[in-house]
Amino acid sequence: MPEWTFITKHAVALSLIARNPRITALELSTAIGITERAVRKVIADLFASGYIKKKREGRGIRYRINTDLSLRQKTHREIAIGDLLESLGWRRRRKKLKKESGT
């Protein structure tokens, strides 16, 4: 019987993408322990649900996470995905404030 885990493959993939926005599907598959094809399905699910956006950069892809979306679980919809990622060790990037001129 395989061991069970608290965190789904989707959440693990999302947390790894949050730490490294240019991570490849192959790198994700190695880290998670599933096939590259399974990772591509997870990425497609996250993209279709609006949790990630993709932007082509050269030969690779840079992912961006929509941290304001809520969790999909009915019992936890008040929790934003960004809050879950923070509980897994991800640190939000702080937006730089523009200096006001004359102050």
Q: What is the secondary structure of 40-102 as a DSSP string?
A: HHHHHHHHHTTSEEEEEETTEEEEEE-TTSBPSSGGGTTSBHHHHHHHTT--PPPPPPPPPTT
- How many domains would you assign to the chain? 1
> Is 98 inside a domain boundary?
no
pLDDT at position 64 is 96
Cα 100 to chain centroid distance, Å, stands at 34
Range of the domain at 83: 9-87
Q: For residue 37, is it within any domain? A: yes
CATH, residue 18: 1.10.10.10
Residue 75 belongs to some domain of the structure: yes
- Tokens found for residue 55: 């932007």
Residue 95: inside a domain = no
93 within a domain of the structure (yes/no): no
pLDDT value, residue 98? 63
Write out the chain's pLDDT in tens, 103 residues. 678 888 899 999 999 999 999 999 999 999 999 999 999 999 999 999 999 999 999 999 999 999 999 999 899 999 999 999 998 888 877 666 666 655 5
Residue position matching structure tokens 């885990």: 5
Residue 70 forms part of a structural domain: yes
What pTM value is reported for the model?
0.82
Specify the pLDDT at position 92.
Answer: 77
